[in-house]
A and B are shown apart, each in its own frame.
Chain A
Amino acid sequence: MRIEEVKEEFKWIFDKLLKYDYTVLRKAHYSALMSLETSCSFRVFLALKHKSLLFIEELARDTLVAMIFFEATWRNVWKKEIDEDTINRLVEKFTIAFKPTEYKDAIEEIKREVDREIISAFQDIMREEAK
């Protein structure tokens, strides 16, 4: 997968996310932050204890998901489209964290995680409405 294709994938994710309501995005962002912090805590500890980066490699995906929701939530608040600079910044972080041979799988995993957070946000909202 080429970098240009990765950019297109990120744009696609944002096009999709920006169709959601602010409440959904805010909840999904909060949940993404919490899961990042939970996995981050233990994995960073293990990485430092055992002096091995293996423990944190999987966190690159979670950090990107949290950033995607952060950007989408604020774009929704400002009623703005996602800009080229933001996409480039995210793609840069993506290419730092993953090797070219991993791009395709990594982007698919990010898309799945974004979907999971959105579904979980909807479930949360439905639970609150049912109360």
Chain B
Amino acid sequence: MEVEDVRKWLEDLLRNLMGYDTHVLYEARLHLVGVVADLYTHHIPLAIKYKDMTLLKAHYELLFASYLFDQAYTYKTLKKEIPKDVIGLLVEYFTSVYSPKEYQDKMIKVGNEIENALKEAIEYIAWKKQFKG
């Protein structure tokens, strides 16, 4: 798989995310922020102590999914398309951490994290509406 395939995948993914309401994007990002912060709170001290980055890389797809929500939310709020250079930066965030052999597997994982975060956000919004009557 090539870098250009990653770019195409990201463009489609972001276009799809931009179709969601800002409220959903915001809550989905918040959900991921909580998960990421919780995981890295444990992993960072261990990585420093054991001088080992395995744990940091193990959950990078969560961090990456969080970047995507951040950009989608920001540009949706601004009512603008995501600029090409931002997409370029996201491609770099992905391709400089993963090797080409890992691309496909990680794309699936990022996609799963995104779907899961959207599901959590939609459920939470529905629950909050019901709770408030």
Contact = CB atoms under 8 A, between A and B. Distances in A.
Interface of A: 33-34, 36-37, 40-41, 44-45, 47-49, 51, 53, 56-57, 59-60, 63, 66-67, 93, 96-97
Contact of A48 (B36, B48, B56): B56
Interface string B23-38: 0000000000110110
Nearest to B40: A40
Contacts of B40: 36, 40, 44, 59, 63
Contact of B60 (A33, A48, A53, A97): A48
Contacts, number: 71
Contacts of A37: 33, 36-37, 66
Main DSSP-derived SS at the B contact region = helix
A112 to B, nearest CB: 19
Interface of B: 33-34, 36-37, 40-41, 44-49, 51, 53, 56-57, 60, 63, 66-67, 93, 96-97
Contacts of B46: 96
A33 B44 contact: no
B48 A56 contact: yes
A9 B34 CA distance: 27
A9 B123 CA distance: 41
